[in-house]
Amino acid sequence: MAAPVRMNTKFYDETLVAVPPPPSRFSLNEWYLNNRLRYRTCEDQQALADKILAECDRVRDEVEERTVLNKLEVDHKISEKIKDIEFNKGEIERQRKEVCTEIDNLTLYKERIMDALNSLQESALKISKKCVIFREGRLGIDLCHDDVERELLKEIDVIEGAQTLLQRTLEQANEQIRRLRSTNYFMDRDLEDKTNVLKIDQHNLGLKETSLNLSMYHGYTPLDRATITAEEWETYTQENIQRAAKEINSARPLRAYVDTLLKQVICDLWNQYNTVNEAFRRRIEETKEAKTKLEMQHLEVNWKSLRE
């Protein structure tokens, strides 16, 4: 139902609101006590804030000290790592230089062997075989198996034996050159890797708090530890160095053997050459002597026939 309306004012009747009682009255002592309580509370909060600030300063200083000590330790370890890398890199470069020198030396010896084989095939062997073929043109009783033929056949055997030895040595030289180049390849890869690592560690060693682009990434990435230990890394380098030293030690005796073999081949060929020439000289003298005797006898027979 609508509220009743007064005839004179035409206002709605409103419910009267209860007036609250007056606030409590405090004494002056209570006022002072309340102020002291608030002062004490403010001082306590201020002291607590000072303690928190002091603790923050302590934690900050401790973190800064730990950070500095950790950076010094890491820088020291990086410096040691750089020295190790530079030392191993220098050892590999020195060993690689020796390997390259040995490859060049062995290549020259290989060319000497090939020249010797070519000379034996194109000169000595062909001449000896031609001599044997030409002597097959002898007629009658002169076509005999004499010392000259035996020495010529022996000379051919000496030449072919020398060719076999030189060919075998050439194969050994080719194999040794291949092994040296393989060793050189692995050392080149190791040098390339160590050069990259050295650049990275030198860059890391030069980083400071004021360096640029340190806060490009604001997240957190867990450290992906390497699958190779420091011992395995050191062992791999030492194996490359030891392998190179082993191949060099195998190549040097091979070069000495090539020198000895070439000298021996030349000596054997000269000895047989002189033997063949001596056989030719004796055979020629025998043939001349027999020819002279036959001519004298033929002359005597002709004189007797003319007298009769």
Residue 189 lies in a domain: yes
Residue 302 confidence class, pLDDT cut points 50, 70, 90: confident
| pLDDT of 225 | 63
| pLDDT of 249 | 93
Give the CATH number of the domain where residue 160 resides: 1.20.1260
Number of domains into which the chain is organized: 1
Best CA proximity match to 180, nearest among 254, 128, 115: 254
Question: Is pLDDT above 80 for 223?
Answer: no
Best CA proximity match to 187, nearest among 255, 238, 153: 238
Residue 137 lies in a domain: yes
Mean pLDDT of 63-73: 89
Best CA proximity match to 251, nearest among 195, 188, 176: 176
Residue 126 lies in a domain: yes
Question: Is pLDDT above 80 for 245?
Answer: yes
Residue 284 belongs to what domain range? 82-206+231-291
Question: Is pLDDT above 90 for 185?
Answer: yes
Question: In one letter, which amino acid is 157?
Answer: D
Instruction: Compute the distance between CA of residue 112 and CA of residue 100 in angstroms, rounded to an integer.
Output: 19
Percent of the chain surpassing pLDDT 70: 88
Residue 142 lies in a domain: yes
Mean pLDDT of 24-41: 87
Mean pLDDT of 5-20: 54
Residue 302 lies in a domain: no
What pTM value is reported for the model? 0.70
Mean pLDDT of 96-119: 94
Residue 296 lies in a domain: no
| pLDDT of 16 | 53
Residue 34 lies in a domain: no
Instruction: Compute the distance between CA of residue 155 and CA of residue 125 in angstroms, rounded to an integer.
Output: 8
Q: What is the pLDDT of residues 36-45, one digit of tens each?
A: 999 999 999 9
Residue 284 lies in a domain: yes
- What does DSSP assign to residue 21? P
Mean pLDDT of 56-77: 91
